[in-house]
Amino acid sequence: MSDWGPVFVAVVLFILLTPGLLFQMPGRNRFIEFGNFHTSGLSILVHSLLYFALICIFLLAVGVHICALEGIVMADWGPILIGVVLFVLLSPGLLFQLPGNSKQLEFGSMKTNGKSIAVHTMIFFAIYAILILAVHVHIYTG
């Protein structure tokens, strides 16, 4: 049986913590800026740490599951590590932005927009769901 809990949590956190959509910390001119659609390497690092902390809380401490699972006793770090790596790699504006602000595809622009956040979220969802639900990537600790 597939557990959609990690997928749901990872995608929601990806959207909420994408630098520049709701907030950017640190901002360009202030410690925190809201809705500026900009990013930076430092803000992606800070947002990635927030993502890691929150996904650990939701998946390990709270144990969010969306299915009927029985007998889970070991912590699965696979969904967390995959989520954090994808969060960094797919943060719009860091490596690439699809669509870009002035071109269809831009590299390293450190900017974002609503359309690119939506596209990057769909890419995140597809890759994450494939790795977690189809490939069943797991990293267990006792």
Side-chain half-sphere CA neighbours of 35 within 13 A:
0
With a CB cutoff of 8 Å and minimum separation 6, the contacts of 57 are: none
With a CB cutoff of 8 Å and minimum separation 6, the contacts of 86 are: 10, 14, 124, 127, 128
Per-residue pLDDT reduced to its tens digit, 24-82: 999 999 999 999 999 999 999 999 999 999 999 988 888 776 665 555 555 778 899 99
- Contacts of 115-121 spanning 24+ positions with Cβ under 8 A: 116/92, 117/15, 117/18, 117/21, 117/92, 120/18, 120/90, 120/91, 120/92, 121/11, 121/14, 121/15, 121/18
Per-residue pLDDT reduced to its tens digit, 108-134: 999 999 999 999 999 999 999 999 888
Residue ranges making up the domain that contains 11: 5-141
Would you say the pTM of this structure is higher than 0.75? yes
Spatial CA neighbour of 98 closest among 83, 111, 84 = 111
Q: How many domains does the chain have?
A: 1
